[in-house]
Structure formats: C-alpha cells, structure tokens
Structure 1
Amino acid sequence: MFKLYKAFVVSHLEHANVIWFPCPKRRSVAIEQLQRSASKFVKEVHNLDNCECVQALKLSSSKSGRLTGDLFQTCKVTAFFSVSHPCIMSETGTVTSKVMSTDEWVQRWDERAIGFHKDTIHPLLEKHLLVMVNGKTNIRIFFPLCGKALDMKWLADQGHTVIGVEAAQKAVEEFFEEQKVPFTTQSVPAINGKLFQSEDKKLNIYCCDFYNFSKDIAGQVDGIWDRGALVAINNEDREKYATILKGLMAPGCRYLLSALQYDETKYAGPPHHLSDDAVQQLYGDKYSIEMIDDVDALESRHSQWGIDWLREKVFLITPK
C-alpha cells in the first residue's frame, strides 16, 4: 500500500506544493489576497468575504493546506528515517541511532536498500594496499561484513586469499554470480551458517551472524580491510566486534580501518561516526594505531543525512 501511495499520490501532492502548503505566514497572507482579488471576477461570489468565497468555490483554505502539508511531510520523514536512514529523534529532540538487528540488515539486501555498496574498487584500499601487504605475497586478507565488495575479487586476482563474513546470503550469492566465479557451498554447523568457496579456494565467504565467527573457524589472517563494517554495527557491540578481530590478527597482521566522521548531532547513523578516541579505546591497549589518510568524503547523496561535512580516515592498526 505504501508503494502505491508513493507512486500515485505523492507525485500529485508535491505538484505546486508551495501554493497549497504555504508554510510562512507572509506567504499564506499573499495567497489569500490573490484569492480575494481573483474572486472579484466571479459574479456569484464577488460580494462574499474570503472565508465564504473559499467555501462557495470549494477551495482549500491556507490553514487546510498547511495541515495537509504537515501530514505529507510527516509521512515523508517517517518513511525516510525508518527505511533509508534508521536514526530516530528522542523525546529531548536529539538524534539517536536506531539499534539494527542482523535480520534487519538482511532485510536491507532483500529490499535493495544497499546504498553503502560500491560498484568500484575502493580508492583508499587501492591507494594503501602496499601498506597492508607490506612486501608479502599471497597473504590471507579478512573482510568483515563483506557484502558483495568488488575489492575481494580484485585481491584474489592478485594471488591473495580472501576470507569474508556476511549475514545476507543474497549478497554472497550475488557476489559470485556477478563476478562469474564458480563456487561450492558447504554447511558449517559451528557458526550455524555456510561457507561459499571458489573452486581455487582463493575466495571464502562465510554466511552467518558475524558474532558466531572466530579464528577457530578459518584461522588467523595477515591483513584486514574494514570498510563499512565497524561503522555499521551498533555502538554497544563495538567491544565484542573488536575482540573477534583481535583474535583473527596473526603476528605481523596489518589492519586497515576506514572510519567516517561527521556531526553526530545532525545524523546518528548507521554508518556511525567513529572518532579517533573511539579507535584508540578499542585497539590502543595492545596495538599501534597510525592515521595514514584523511579525505573529504562528502557526496551529494549525503545531504539526505542532514550533514554538511564528512571525513573518511584510514587507520593502520598493527600489534605492538
């Protein structure tokens, strides 16, 4: 029903809404003056006052237009925040993040609400790959919450072994199909999930709840590319998430973390703001942390978040 509403009703409501939805008082007064002037040319109503004239001609009053517009805007805002941008407004007027379950992330893939997916190799991974591999060849690289990132195939084509974890089976299947990579599947009872594996075993994606995964399932790794994962999870799960990644890091592992930073008072995520201090609190106890890049990441689509600046930083995290 909501899809029908958006397709057939919203388009009509939005047409000329400046006229029928006069927000400022001065605009409402101007429209009423125009109505009175125009009504003088109608013989049947030229002697009536504005209120009676509006009723006689079956027009909408400016007050009615404002009420209709308020309802329309409320519908748009509710749909926007509940479907595309799941942050909510608290009773105190502050923006707070909506807690997302694994099932809700899977639903995003089912509904194609995957604006976070990139159709190209991530430029910051491309730029800093040599920092991750550190002169080594054929290393094992981990992708948390990997989706169907093209980066995985790009790295596998260079001889590296990729291990990914993703909750949405649709994403995993689409990855192998779109990359035209033959694969097999096998059940992994220990994680209550499946392993999707390329025939050459260079691409290995475990489809399961991320928090069921550990080094006991696939061993330790030499590199990690964390883009859109730590910033996506619920803030209260960050410690649990970091514990899993720490367990996966082999001696000498080089972990590249992409962090987004913006004004949290305007948008609360996901993706979530991840401050320098938060990174330090998660990994600073046993790991060295170096910020190796800081770029302007603001795009036109981010205007929907209500923010006017967005930085993407890359941290290199290595065992001390």
Structure 2
Amino acid sequence: MDDKTMQGWLGCWEKKTSPWHHDDVHEAIEKHHEILMTSLTAKNKIFIPLCGKTVDIKWLADRGNEVVGLEASEIAVKELFTEQNIEYTSEDAPAVKGKLYRSTDNKIKVYCCDLFLFSAEIESGFSGIWDRGSLVALSPADQKRYIELIKTLIHPGIGYLLEIPDRDPNNGPPFFISLENLQEGFGPNCSVTKLCAVEKLPPTADIKSMPDMKGMNVFRLTFG
C-alpha cells in the first residue's frame, strides 16, 4: 500500500475516526457464514483482510473457526482484543515486518502489517475470505495489485464474500469496482453473484457526505 494511503488510514484510527466500523456482526455474515466455513480442500479457516476491529472475528471464532485477520493499525488491533475481552499475546513477525497478535486459545490471529507484505507463504489453507471494506478501501490502481495478492490465497471451492458500494466510480473510498473488472482480474474461472443488499449501514457512517452513495451490496465469488 502506498505510504500516503497507509498514513491516511492510520491517521483515522489515531483520531478515533472509523465511520466504517460496525458495532454489530455484519448481516451477511449472520445469514451466510456457512459459505466461508467449508470448501473441498479446507475447513473452518477464514481470512479477513484489513479487518480493523471488526466484531465479526470473535463471532466467527466462537462458532468453531480459526480466524486470521490483517490490519495495519496497531491501535485497531489492540482495541479488537480489549473491547471484546479476548486474552491475547503479541510477538514480532519478521516475515511481514510487523507483529502477530493471537488469542490465548489460538482461534484468532491478527497480523499487524502492510497488506502487501502478506502472502500464502505466511498463511494458507483458507476455507473462506470475508472481504468487507478491504478491496474497496484501495484506489483502482492498488485494486489490481490486491487481486493478484488474493489470487495466491484462493483455490477451487473457497468461499469468498465481498462487499461493494453502489456509487460513482470516480469517488471513494470506499471505491466502486465493476463486476467486469472483478472477473477480468480474477480470471475466467471466477464467477460473481449478488448475494444480498446491505440493509444496516454502520451507525456512524456519514452518508450525507457521500451523496452519490446508493447503498452497499454483498457478492459471492466462486472459483472453478
């Protein structure tokens, strides 16, 4: 992630400005979490990139999943564990030039590092990926680079849920990405299906500042 973008997101956490954060479990996860839990070659291991301090992590871990998150802000990572009363330890993670936070029961691991230092060499074998606000947090130029990274983690049968804003493509973040660009980026073995429209936006979301925002939709990506 370029330094300007990184510093912008880190600054939001430092200023305690996180209008994208949900205090509740995301409705798509409540309704469709089974999609993320079991594939033909992996089971109960879910990756959540740019996870912030989402409560989805504990909710999924409480249902028998190993959950691996990634977040650049150490403030967000620490708040994730402390606000949800999860006992944790931390250690240096030289492979990603950052830190690894983990719950004492080893159900939850969160890498605190630059997103683009992560790869399948660090963690693999995911049954599902919950991409809520990760791809669309990036500029269109970085979206292509992001998709190349994610392609190293996917395999036939993996469950992949992706939230995309319905808004002017020239505005962001969150940035719109077309289904055509998704399929082009992930390749001919990827198919994209709309799963649901999001009914509950974060209570702190400043929709008035985004007059072009028509809503959010969750899509399912499948890979043959």
* TM-score for the superposition, normalised by structure 2: 0.89
How many angstroms apart in 2 are the aligned matches of 1:290 and 1:128?
A: 13
| Structure with higher helix content | 1
> Which among 169, 172, 180 is matched to residue 277 of structure 1?
180
| Cα distance per residue 1:245-265 (max 9 Å; x no partner) | 111124421111111111346
Contact kept? 1:226, 1:256, Cα under 8 Å: yes
Question: Tell me, what secondary structure is at the counterpart of 2:150?
Answer: helix
| Coordinate RMSD, CA, aligned | 2.2
How many angstroms apart in 2 are the aligned matches of 1:116 and 1:319?
A: 28
| Cα distance per residue 1:163-200 (max 9 Å; x no partner) | 01100000000111111111111111111001000111
Q: Please report how far the alpha carbon of residue 291 of structure 1 lies from its aligned counterpart in structure 2 after TM superposition.
A: 1.9
| Cα distance per residue 1:7-30 (max 9 Å; x no partner) | xxxxxxxxxxxxxxxxxxxxxxxx
Q: Please report how far the alpha carbon of residue 288 of structure 1 lies from its aligned counterpart in structure 2 after TM superposition.
A: 2.5
Report what 1:289 is aligned to.
Answer: 192
User: Residue 125 of structure 1 aligns to which amino acid in structure 2?
Assistant: I
Question: Tell me, what secondary structure is at the counterpart of 1:245?
Answer: helix
Percent identity (aligned): 36
How many angstroms apart in 2 are the aligned matches of 1:118 and 1:297?
A: 9
> Which among 174, 192, 199 is matched to residue 104 of structure 2?
199
How many angstroms apart in 1 are the aligned matches of 2:198 and 2:15?
A: 31
Question: Tell me, what secondary structure is at the counterpart of 1:217?
Answer: coil
> Which among 240, 245, 252 is matched to residue 150 of structure 2?
245
How many angstroms apart in 1 are the aligned matches of 2:49 and 2:39?
A: 23
How many angstroms apart in 1 are the aligned matches of 2:164 and 2:33?
A: 17
Does residue 161 (structure 1) correspond to residue 49 (structure 2)? The answer is no
Q: Please report how far the alpha carbon of residue 138 of structure 1 lies from its aligned counterpart in structure 2 after TM superposition.
A: 5.6
Contact kept? 1:138, 1:161, Cα under 8 Å: no
Q: Please report how far the alpha carbon of residue 295 of structure 1 lies from its aligned counterpart in structure 2 after TM superposition.
A: 4.5
> Which among 102, 114, 119 is matched to residue 23 of structure 2?
119
Moved over 6 A (4+): 297-300
Q: Please report how far the alpha carbon of residue 297 of structure 1 lies from its aligned counterpart in structure 2 after TM superposition.
A: 6.6
* TM-score for the superposition, normalised by structure 1: 0.64
User: Residue 14 of structure 2 aligns to which amino acid in structure 1?
Assistant: D
Report what 2:218 is aligned to.
Answer: 314
Identify the structure with bigger relative contact order (alpha carbons < 8 Å, sequence gap 6+): 2
How many angstroms apart in 1 are the aligned matches of 2:211 and 2:221?
A: 31
Contact kept? 2:72, 2:113, Cα under 8 Å: yes
Deviates more, 1:281-290 or 1:202-211: 281-290
Structure 1: tracts of 5 or more residues without a match: 1-98
| Cα distance per residue 1:97-131 (max 9 Å; x no partner) | xx952122111100112101111100112111123
Structure 2: tracts of 5 or more residues without a match: none
| Cα distance per residue 1:27-52 (max 9 Å; x no partner) | xxxxxxxxxxxxxxxxxxxxxxxxxx
User: Residue 6 of structure 2 aligns to which amino acid in structure 1?
Assistant: T
Q: Whose Rg is larger?
A: 1
Provide closer, same or farther for how the CA distance between residues 138 and 254 of structure 1 changes in structure 2, counting only shifts above 3 A: closer
User: Residue 114 of structure 1 aligns to which amino acid in structure 2?
Assistant: S
Q: Please report how far the alpha carbon of residue 235 of structure 1 lies from its aligned counterpart in structure 2 after TM superposition.
A: 1.3
